[in-house]
Structure 1
Amino acid sequence: MKQLIKGLVLPAVLCLPACHHAPEAAPIAATPAALHAQSAEFKREILNPADGVYVAIGYGIANSILLVGDDGVIVVDTTETAESAREVLAAFRKITDKPVKAIVYTHSHPDHIGGAAVFAAGRDVPVYAQRELVANMQRTSIELQTAITRRSQRMYGMPLPADQVINVGIGPFVDMHADSTVDTLPPTRVFDEQLEDTVAGIHFRLVHAPGETGDQLFMWLPERHIVLSGDNFYRAFPNLYTIRGTSYRDPRAWADSIDKLRALHAEVLVPSHTRPLVGADRIEAALTDYRDAIRYVYDQTIRLINQGRTPDEIAATLRLPAHLASSPYLQTFYGNVPWSAREIYSGLLGWYDGDPASLQPLAPDDTARHMIALAGGIDALAKQITDAESRGEHQWVLQLSGYALRVVPDRDDVRKARIAALRALGAAESNPNARHWYQVSAGELAGEYKLPARVVKPTPAMLARMPLARFFDGMAVNLDPQASGDETLKVGFEFTDVPERYTYIVRQGASEVVPAITDDADIVVRVSAQTFKEMLAQLRNPALTIASDFTVVKGSKLGFVRFMRWFVPDAS
């Protein structure tokens, strides 16, 4: 799919206001065929829903939006990589050669900030964002980078052959691969609740609107009744929870943010995924259904919680009412109701489901052994799996095979049955996130894919802009407690290109970072901050970098190598 789309010739700029007034076709039930139809949302082109407003759609998962002013332009959202940003910028330059006077991030997700430096083109361009964006971005890109990367590859189907990816629900694909780079700029104009400004003659208001992220904003052009809604609205059921993993997304706050959008009575709505809407009545109807669906799921989940229902029970029974389930803007091509109900339960009450058996459960391996014994042994369980497979009970095969493979991981007939079940579930699934997770999991189990720890690389320039202290946070979450569990060691870091100094203390498997060189440091090393960052970001070989670029001021190089091996296994 990616190769075919990249090969397309960019069509002439298309002006579509009249098309957006056309009545909606009757929605198709959520099926793989309907998911194919959803691909029409992402035809690669530049849309022009209002004078001076251009939307690049189909270049990656997210839209990038161009606002043309008197003597310059504003770019809202910058795609996921520097490479996709260059393609979008080339398309925008066919519209105008006016300089970029400002960049706006609607929120911190990587697909909206990854190509910012490309649009700035080396100039000092102000970058607008809500204040929480930086902390959220750094948490994902440093502390949780490995887990989010692995889970995102499964959710977006990134290892799959192009012919197995229909679309990703709110975009055609994620344009990230082994050769991709990201080059994010830090925000320079941040705000808490609202910010009003005029750039290149464009008067706008940025409004904090928490929803899919806590740092979400929308951009309002009051004189023109145009709103850029970010990711709080798109043509799919909202991702109140994402299976790649996220902190709690408060549905009440999300619904309140939709109400803020409704109160504007906008005549043009430009989301950061899927196509713009034109017409106040159409926008009002779509937004009202959207907020009602969010509140319905939240309110009814709380009602069932108060009745004593468990997350599994709520997820199995909660459904949208028919008038909302039939909305073309609420088809489950991204989020879905059962996942949302589970998110609300865990977000408000935590992991405990109220069943006392869950308080101190057996370890998964122990549970598996008991289940195999209950079935009458591994051969009897394997027969149960085979029988379930012949009846087409794919979910039951998946659950039973999990027990068997925990205890007998090389049981080939069970492994093949599990692979077949995963592929059958994926083929029948209309939600791309679930579909891809099934398909990629099958490929992993079959030995077809090995997911890399990193898909895209930051540029050295981006690393230079990131705070040095955050890299020590990244070290802390990679500390091997077994290797370091019996020792206390204090290592000082001096940097040749910045005045910052740190002492990293490992105390029997626990970390502490002191922003100074302590007098009792066991080892002190000297290196440039840029080299240190590039090594930790895997742009440099750790062993070669430690050998050639670190100078030991106190202690031994061998002791420092041993210390770094606690964080970076290939440090020697």
Structure 2
Amino acid sequence: MSADTSLGSQSLFSGEGGMQDFGNGLYMLQLFANICMVETGEGVVLFDLGLPIDGPRIVQELRAVTDMPVRYMIYGHGHADHAFGSRAVLEDAAERGHDKPVIVAHESLPRRFDRYQRMLPYHEHINRIQFGIPEGIPAFPWDYIYPDEVFRDEMTFCLGDTTFALKHARGETDDHIWMWIPERNAVCASDFWVWSCPNVGNPFKVQRYALEWAQALEDMASLSPELMLPGHGAAISGAAEVEEACHTVARALRLLDDQVVEMLNEGKWQEEVLLSFAWPQEFAASPYLAPIYGHPYFVVQALLRQYHGWYDGNPSHLFPAGSGELAAQVLELAGGAGLVLAKARELAEAGKTQLALHVVDYVLDAGAEPRREALELKTSLLEALAAKERSLIARNIFLGGVRQIKKELQG
């Protein structure tokens, strides 16, 4: 199919966009995550390898356009949707009698794979919540194919008449890379570009890097590419639009970084920073920064974690009492759980859903009765938040809480 790069076509997880042909041997297979394919006179280079279940589809779509051997497979980073469809490609090469493709990644990626395997149950658990994956369906990869070659800052190789320049920059991961193909005037951006507010500060995941992310986008724009192939969603075509897109997101990230640093230097603590940072309308209305996956609040959380320790400025919280013990005292002061639940309903009716949730939690944390009534109220509050929430991550966290409560109620 021909590529649709109009703004109206954008969706973070647009799924079955299928194989898109940009001409001159450059393709993008748009699945849950995108796989870039570059055909040269001496073979094929694949950039990003999708989910484990994507492997057969990658081979099918590849073989519909070329019989050339795959010479290189490049992991844009080590996340589950970008580095785990390679098994089927290796098997296809063996069946055809081709040489084994060389797998290339950043030098930090093997350590990521080691950590994933050490903590498989944990990652299975958090990914199930983050993506709303039902029980019984695997939520995290178990088959790890490590790279054959790794690099630190940059790596350039040629295949046929085509140059592939791999660039490392910390962004969504510490092993993140992007690829510049000068003869095709194209950039493969991996998750440096996903048609959303950048996923800096994912509530479940390790540290991510806003400033380096911004710099990577600026570096891409400086090359004036005519085409940018993202990690998710549709491609961006035209040097002017690529430049505008990259610089808009980079400016947004730098603005948040500047605000956090300025407020910390003024002696403000985390809560005050989170409640007072500004997100200008220019960015709130931008199609490049829609909070459909990442969120500016998450970015600020990541910046605080990067620049700041965990102490929140209140000595009472240094060695805090347990939440249940504190909640029991609050219920006693308030005159019992019934009055607290009544207050939570009053807040909910006034549209203060988040505040109502906190109040309900005093009843639940204290283990007080009527527990079922409190759980049912919390369910309705979480469902109300989920119905209005644009961020997939935040929405699935709310709905994950609903599922957990319903499991208890049914038990």
* TM norm structure 1: 0.66
SS at the partner of 2:82? Answer: helix
Larger of the two Rg values belongs to structure: 1
Q: What does 1:150-229 align with in structure 2 at a 5 Å threshold?
A: 150-159=125-134, 177-178=137-138, 182-229=142-189
Q: What does 1:382-401 align with in structure 2 at a 5 Å threshold?
A: 382-401=341-360
Q: Hey, what's the Cα distance between the residues in 2 that align with 1:330 and 1:343? A: 17
- 1:379 paired residue number: 338
- 2:103 paired residue number: 127
Q: Hey, what's the Cα distance between the residues in 2 that align with 1:142 and 1:449? A: 34
CA offset at residue 37 of structure 1? Answer: 7.9
CA offset at residue 360 of structure 1? Answer: 2.1
1:350-378 per-residue CA deviation (whole Å, 9 max, x = no partner) reads 21122222222222222211221222222
* 1:51 aligns with one of 24, 29, 48: 24
Residue identity matched to 1:214: D
Q: Could you tell me whether the CA contact under 8 Å between 2:105 and 2:151 is conserved in 1?
A: yes
- 1:9 paired residue number: none
CA offset at residue 306 of structure 1? Answer: 1.8
Q: Hey, what's the Cα distance between the residues in 2 that align with 1:284 and 1:146? A: 41
**Dislocated runs of 4+, deviation >6 Å:** none
1:499-528 per-residue CA deviation (whole Å, 9 max, x = no partner) reads xxxxxxxxxxxxxxxxxxxxxxxxxxxxxx
Residue identity matched to 1:191: F
Residue identity matched to 1:101: R
In the alignment, does 2:119 pair up with 1:144? yes
Structure 1 unaligned blocks of 5 or more: 1-13, 26-35, 161-175, 451-572
Q: Could you tell me whether the CA contact under 8 Å between 2:162 and 2:183 is conserved in 1?
A: no
Q: What does 1:292-371 align with in structure 2 at a 5 Å threshold?
A: 292-371=251-330
SS at the partner of 1:437? Answer: helix
In the alignment, does 2:65 pair up with 1:92? no
* 1:117 aligns with one of 67, 76, 87: 87
1:279-318 per-residue CA deviation (whole Å, 9 max, x = no partner) reads 1111111101011011011111111222222222222222
1:410-448 per-residue CA deviation (whole Å, 9 max, x = no partner) reads 611101000111111101111111111111210111118
Residue identity matched to 2:113: M
CA offset at residue 204 of structure 1? Answer: 0.8
Residue identity matched to 1:238: P
Q: Hey, what's the Cα distance between the residues in 2 that align with 1:93 and 1:446? A: 46
- 2:239 paired residue number: 280
SS at the partner of 2:22? Answer: strand
Q: Hey, what's the Cα distance between the residues in 1 that align with 2:361 and 2:122? A: 21
In the alignment, does 2:245 pair up with 1:269? no
1:343-400 per-residue CA deviation (whole Å, 9 max, x = no partner) reads 2112211211222222222222222112212222222222222333444432123212
CA offset at residue 104 of structure 1? Answer: 0.4
Identity across aligned pairs (percent)? 24
Q: Could you tell me whether the CA contact under 8 Å between 1:80 and 1:112 is conserved in 2?
A: yes
Residue identity matched to 2:221: R
Residue identity matched to 1:110: A
Q: Hey, what's the Cα distance between the residues in 2 that align with 1:257 and 1:144? A: 30
CA offset at residue 261 of structure 1? Answer: 1.1
CA offset at residue 272 of structure 1? Answer: 1.5
SS at the partner of 2:361? Answer: helix
Q: Could you tell me whether the CA contact under 8 Å between 1:316 and 1:338 is conserved in 2?
A: no
- 2:197 paired residue number: 237
- 1:290 paired residue number: 249
CA offset at residue 179 of structure 1? Answer: 9.6
Change (3 A) 1:449 1:215: farther
Q: Could you tell me whether the CA contact under 8 Å between 1:385 and 1:414 is conserved in 2?
A: no
Q: Could you tell me whether the CA contact under 8 Å between 1:195 and 1:207 is conserved in 2?
A: yes
Q: Hey, what's the Cα distance between the residues in 2 that align with 1:309 and 1:179? A: 39
Residue identity matched to 2:358: Q
Q: Hey, what's the Cα distance between the residues in 1 that align with 2:145 and 2:90? A: 9
Q: Could you tell me whether the CA contact under 8 Å between 2:228 and 2:242 is conserved in 1?
A: yes
Q: Hey, what's the Cα distance between the residues in 1 that align with 2:391 and 2:404? A: 20
SS at the partner of 2:184? Answer: coil
In the alignment, does 2:386 pair up with 1:426? yes
How many residues were matched structurally?
Answer: 403
Q: Hey, what's the Cα distance between the residues in 2 that align with 1:418 and 1:365? A: 17
Change (3 A) 1:409 1:419: farther
Q: Hey, what's the Cα distance between the residues in 1 that align with 2:89 and 2:312? A: 48
Change (3 A) 1:303 1:347: same
